[in-house]
Amino acid sequence: MKTYRYRVLVLGCKVNQYEAQEIREHLRDLGLQPAYGAEAELQIIHGCAVTGSALRKTCRLARGALRAPGSRWVILTGCAAAVQNGELSRTLAGIVPSGRDFLRRLDEVLADLGVIPREVTAQGKGISSFQERTRAIVKVQDGCDYRCSYCIVPLLRGASRCRSAREVYDEVQRLAAAGYREIVISGVNVGNYAADSCDLAGLLEMLLEVPGIARIRLSSLHPRQLSHRLLNLWRTSDRLAPHLHLPLQSGSDRILRLMRRDYSLSEYIAAVARAREYIRDPPITTDLMVGFPGETVGVFEPKVTAVREIGFARVHVFPFSPRPGTPAAELPGRVQRSEIDYRSRLLRKTAFDAAMAFAQRLVGMDETLIVENAGEFGASGMIGRYLRTEVEGEYSAGMVIKVRIHGIRRGRSGPIAVAEVKAAAAPGASRQPSQSYLHAFAKGSGTGVKAKLYVKDTGQDVMGVVLRGSIPAHQAG
């Protein structure tokens, strides 16, 4: 049977980026060949439908793939596949929404098309590489049990579900062995992680034991998910990036209630203050929606004030997009598009100024830089405090460099730090944790579970570890 070439194109969030890589490796395991610069007979569009704009971009990408030279089959996957039922869908070779067993359902479509023999299967095992050279995304959770009035994701991805801690640990080990220095823990609602009788803090404690990983970063957390145990990990570990992304969405309590967000502005500010008690100068980044129904000028102004007073390090500003099937799509009080655009520009300028002010506070601080881009005269990458940083000298991607920030300059999308090098390590030479790992998961349920830590290759019991978190007994296991 002929071996076909494939190309996977992706739009959307970190979860989508991870799933696109999962598809690439799955197709390779099925015996297909990546197209790279050549023509691809099979094109898979892993698209986004969180906003109307994202869905339109996905459709444009799919139409372009249909016209591409050599293209025979275009398959739409991801969140966009769950809502695409128009004229475009009739021209596609297949539609496979995200969700449970989506790789198995993709195999069925490929077999129906004759791309793979029906008896050929491959087990989805996660990923072992990523398109970036130094940073990899790891999805630990999918779906969402919250019902924010504007959000279509629970309708597209279903209830919250989590990968086993063992599976996540093994995947991070593979990525470390492949040379990835930073891992971004991602999911639709990461803070809701609960599997193998451990919560998110317990999972992070395990992953911080993986040799070769210089930094672990969390993609996003709900303001109510900042437990003492989780915050204490930031206090005690120099490999957990001191960066918190806490979506705010609005500065108005009335709008937050209409959004069905279960916190007030004062509760959000208290969560930020609590984080700052544990972590020195943590960059707090956030999402702010503009133009939610009922957002008058008087309602919008507290949002601008909040950006100034909280001192965000970065703000993702985006317009309200009514999604069919969500309660917010039926709310009165729509804001005109021209007004949304004006408010967005004002909010972005305020956010840029706040980001510059935060970055200036980092001058004189020592940080760890993981090199992402390297040239003959300098290199750049991200420090743990989520700031693009530049240094002079010759380095290679993946090097871990101790730097001191001595200046901040304005970049197009935000501040950029300029630093001097204090010490550098070769790629993969980041501080190695112990060679121990959680060899077996403990027995038990409820809010506490005892596990044993074993030394790799010997099985010697060296210490007891108690994984405790706020996991109800019915969720444990």
Give tens-digit pLDDT for 416-435: 999 999 977 756 544 333 33
More confident residue, 123 or 378: 378
Q: What is the pLDDT of residue 427?
A: 61
Of the given ranges (104-108, 257-261, 443-447), which has the lowest mean pLDDT? 443-447
The fourth-level CATH superfamily of domain 135-350 is tm_1862 like domain (3.80.30.20)
Order of strands across the sheet that contains 314-319 = 244-245, 284-290, 314-319
Summarize pLDDT for 309-342 with one digit per residue, the tens.
999 999 999 999 999 999 999 999 999 999 999 9
The backbone region for 440, taken as left when phi is positive above 0, alpha when psi lies in -120 to 50, beta otherwise, is beta
The backbone region for 84, taken as left when phi is positive above 0, alpha when psi lies in -120 to 50, beta otherwise, is beta
Rg over CA atoms, the chain: 23
* pLDDT of 448 higher than 70: no
CA distance to 13, 351, 354, 367, 432, per residue, from 340 (Å): 23, 16, 21, 38, 49
Give the pLDDT band (50/70/90) at residue 7: very high
pLDDT, average across residues 168-173: 97
Q: What is the pLDDT of residue 17?
A: 96
Cα pseudo-dihedral 196, 199, 200, 203, rounded to 10: -40
What are the sequence ranges of the domains in the chain?
5-113, 135-350, 366-425, 436-468
pLDDT, average across residues 20-45: 94
- Estimate to the nearest angstrom the gap between the alpha carbon of 74 and the chain centroid: 26
| pLDDT > 90 in the chain, percent | 79
Architecture in CATH of 366-425:
Beta Barrel (2.40)
Q: What is the pLDDT of residue 426?
A: 59
More confident residue, 68 or 447: 68
* pLDDT of 451 higher than 50: no
- C-alpha span between 274 and 262 (Å, rounded): 18
217-250 burial, b at 16+ Cβ within 10 Å, e below that, comes to bbbbbbbebbbebbbebbeeeebbbbbbbbbbbb
Residue 435 tokens, joined: 């060679």
Residue 340 tokens, joined: 């949304």
Give the pLDDT band (50/70/90) at residue 400: very high
* pLDDT of 76 higher than 60: yes
* Contact (Cβ atoms closer than 8 angstroms) between residue 187 and residue 225: no
The chain-wide mean pLDDT, for the chain, equals 88
Summarize pLDDT for 454-464 with one digit per residue, the tens.
223 323 222 22
Q: What is the pLDDT of residue 80?
A: 93
Q: What is the pLDDT of residue 106?
A: 95
Q: What is the pLDDT of residue 365?
A: 97
Of the given ranges (7-21, 118-132, 169-183, 424-438), which has the lowest mean pLDDT? 424-438
Q: What is the pLDDT of residue 85?
A: 66
CATH of 5-113, picked from 3.40.50.12160, 1.10.10.10, 3.90.230.10, 3.40.50.920, is 3.40.50.12160
Q: What is the pLDDT of residue 375?
A: 86
Continuous H helices in 178-227: 200-207
